[in-house]
Amino acid sequence: MRPLTEEETKTLFEKLAKYIGSNIKHLIDRSDETYCFRLHKDRVYYVSESIMRKAVSVGRDQLGSLGVCFGKMTKTGKFRLHITALDYLAQYAKHKMWVKPNGEMPFLYGNHVVKAHLGRVTEDTPEHQGVIVLNMSDVPLGFGVTARSTSDSRKLQPTDIVAFHQADIGEYLREEDTLF
């Protein structure tokens, strides 16, 4: 476990900014407790300082996980968000997309969101913007990237993709072994 380098912090924030923009500062600057980002076995964890201090005494091999896993650093130096970060992303998301009840299961199985399943979407969402996918009762299901802007998606066919799947809560079952 170690703090992120400046380069790593930058790549992490660039990815997070696609979903929550400048709201990242609410993750760092919290009133309740000091939180920090830590890297352990290529995974980035968002963890409170008190827990991090306790985890310091655990050996590198023995330490499985701590705090909330936000994602992992790939070997090419990119950052990949994991579904475990959804709680924080949904809380501060700038753009959201609601899917109809008949579209929930297809999305949870890892498919893209098609026009027919689109319930509603935040106004003026640009193209290729990170969005949080929720069901109609506002439960976050995962996140993705918009294929079209809000205005463009009106003209689409029902089978056309409106948002590309990135992560969904079905991964808690499908990728239990590698997720945390």
Partner 1 sequence: MDVSSALEAHQNKFKSIQVEKLVPVEFDLNLLAAFDSNAIDAQKLSSKKEEYLKGLNRDNAQLLFNEIFKLPVESTDAGLLAKLPSQTYILPREKPLPKEKPMTRWEKFAKTKGIQKHKKERMVFDEATGKYTPTWGYAGGKKDTTKDWLLEVPSNVDPMEDQYAKKREEKKERVDKNKKRQKRNEEEASATNKGMDPRQVKKKQLQEAIAVTKQSTASYGRFDKKIEGEQKMKGMKRQFAPNITDGKVEKQATLDILNKVVGKNGEVLNVTKAVRQHKKARK
How many residues at the interface with partner 1, by CB under 8 A? 29
Shortest gap between Cβ of 160 and partner 1 (angstroms)?
Answer: 20
Q: Is residue 91 a contact point for partner 1 (CB under 8 A)?
A: no
Q: Which helix (H) or strand (E) holds 176?
A: helix 176-179
- DSSP structure class, residue 14: H
Q: Is residue 151 a contact point for partner 1 (CB under 8 A)?
A: yes
Is residue 125 classed as helix, strand or coil in its secondary structure? coil
Q: Is residue 126 a contact point for partner 1 (CB under 8 A)?
A: yes
Distance CA(27)–CA(24), nearest Å, equals: 5
Distance CA(153)–CA(122), nearest Å, equals: 12
Q: Is residue 13 a contact point for partner 1 (CB under 8 A)?
A: yes
* Residue 93 CB neighbours (<10 A): 22
The single residue among 41, 42, 53, 101 that binds partner 1, judged by CB under 8 A, is: 53
The single residue among 42, 124, 128, 172 that binds partner 1, judged by CB under 8 A, is: 124
Question: What is the chain's length?
Answer: 180
Q: Is residue 32 a contact point for partner 1 (CB under 8 A)?
A: no
Pairing verdict, β 118-121 and 130-135: unpaired
Which residues sit at the interface with partner 1, rule CB under 8 A? 1-3, 5-6, 9-10, 13-14, 17, 21-22, 24-25, 28-29, 34, 36-38, 49, 52-53, 56, 123-124, 126, 149, 151
